[in-house]
């Protein structure tokens, strides 16, 4: 049984959860990514991956030259992990209702064309239905291992994706991967492409609310307010 996650936090929680449940034969494949930002134009091709790497290098700051030296090789290695999963192996994909994880879901299912035993656990829905939370989680990475274990037990008999649903996600990836925009948001239960200044006014209002228009404040203070 292989579990697929879209950030290191979720992957770490899944690994801990599996060890606590003594499910030692199960493994986790993790995309250390942020699919809501940056180009995803034909990301399933080498040219698309190189273009994304170049954008990340030019637009984001990372320690230890991560985008220059590690990002692309790690991304390609993760895709290769997906391709080497045996056809008969059950696969569980963990995703929340946000642009990053939904784009990741579509991308991964397009990579798993020959795999039939795929389940999707929607952690946003599970948080409302099983944990009875009245607020929406922003991402699966917010959830502790105990919640993931509860979801795992509740959805263990969840049916595999039908061919129709698989094709829906594959077609969605075809659409997403032809876009040239660099910012995606989750609205009305789907991914929307927006301009890069989409959050500017919101950020300005957050900065004003903590007094950044009157004195210098470090960025984390504004981020915390947002």
- Dist. CA 23–CA 148, nearest whole Å: 13
Instruction: Provide the pLDDT for residue 143.
Output: 95
pLDDT band at 59 (very low <50, low <70, confident <90, very high): very high
Instruction: Provide the pLDDT for residue 113.
Output: 87
pLDDT tens, residue by residue, 139-179? 999 999 999 999 999 888 888 999 999 999 999 999 999 99
pLDDT tens, residue by residue, 12-48? 999 999 999 898 899 999 998 999 999 999 999 999 9
pLDDT greater than 70 at residue 226: no
pLDDT greater than 90 at residue 65: no
pLDDT tens, residue by residue, 190-224? 999 999 988 888 888 888 887 777 777 777 777 77
pLDDT tens, residue by residue, 80-134? 999 999 999 999 999 999 999 999 999 999 999 889 899 999 999 999 999 998 8
Residues facing 28 on adjacent strands: 3
- Dist. CA 202–CA 218, nearest whole Å: 17
- In 98-167, the DSSP E strands lie at 118-122
* Collapsed DSSP state (helix, strand, coil) of residue 93: strand
- Dist. CA 159–CA 120, nearest whole Å: 9
């Amino acid at each position: 049984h292989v579990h697929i996650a879209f950030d290191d936090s979720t992957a770490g929680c899944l690994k801990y959860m599996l060890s606590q449940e003594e499910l030692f034969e199960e493994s986790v494949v993790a995309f250390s990514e942020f699919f809501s930002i940056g180009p995803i134009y034909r990301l399933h091709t080498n040219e698309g991956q190189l273009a994304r790497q170049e954008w990340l290098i030019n637009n984001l700051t990372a320690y230890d030259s991560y985008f220059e030296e590690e990002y692309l090789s790690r991304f390609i290695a993760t895709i290769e992990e997906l391709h080497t999963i045996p056809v008969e192996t059950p696969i569980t994909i963990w995703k929340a209702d946000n642009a990053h994880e939904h784009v990741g879901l579509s991308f991964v299912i397009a990579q798993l064309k020959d795999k039939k035993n795929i389940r999707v656990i929607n952690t946003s829905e599970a948080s409302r239905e099983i944990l009875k939370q009245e607020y929406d989680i922003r991402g699966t990475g917010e959830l502790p291992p105990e919640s993931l274990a509860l979801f795992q037990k509740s959805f263990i008999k969840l049916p595999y994706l039908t061919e129709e649903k698989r094709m829906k996600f594959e077609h969605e990836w075809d659409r997403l991967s032809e876009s040239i925009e660099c910012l995606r948001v989750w609205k009305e239960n789907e991914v929307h492409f927006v301009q890069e200044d989409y959050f500017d006014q919101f950020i300005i209002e957050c900065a004003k609310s903590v007094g950044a228009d009157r004195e210098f404040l470090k960025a984390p203070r504004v981020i915390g307010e947002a």
